[in-house]
Amino acid sequence: MDTAKMLFYRNLLFRCLLVGIGIAILLFAATFAFYDLWMPLAMRVFTLEEAEVSEQVLGTLLNVRLILLFFFLTPALALHWMSRRSQA
């Protein structure tokens, strides 16, 4: 793979990471801001207790973090490392 392609994919993955972090922050803020509003609705719709719904929300936020780290940041850092070596 030539350097121009590596730089393109690296920049694409870094930008995807930044957009993903922005969306994750918005998701966390919306969850925190409207927790009292949507919690009774979620409990009724899914017939779960409050602790179970909270556990699912926390699991979702953790999964978003893992996806951002391992699907976007790790390959972007690897491409960054490879592009630096090929330029030297």
Measured CA to CA, the distance from residue 56 to residue 61 in angstroms comes to: 9
Question: What percentage of the chain exceeds 70 in pLDDT?
Answer: 98
> Which of the pair, 2 or 8, is modelled with greater confidence?
8
Res 83 pLDDT > 90: no
Our count of domains for the chain comes to 1
> By residue range, what is the domain housing residue 37?
3-87
Residue range 28-54, pLDDT digits in tens: 999 899 989 988 988 899 888 999 999
Res 77 pLDDT > 80: yes
pLDDT score at 22: 92
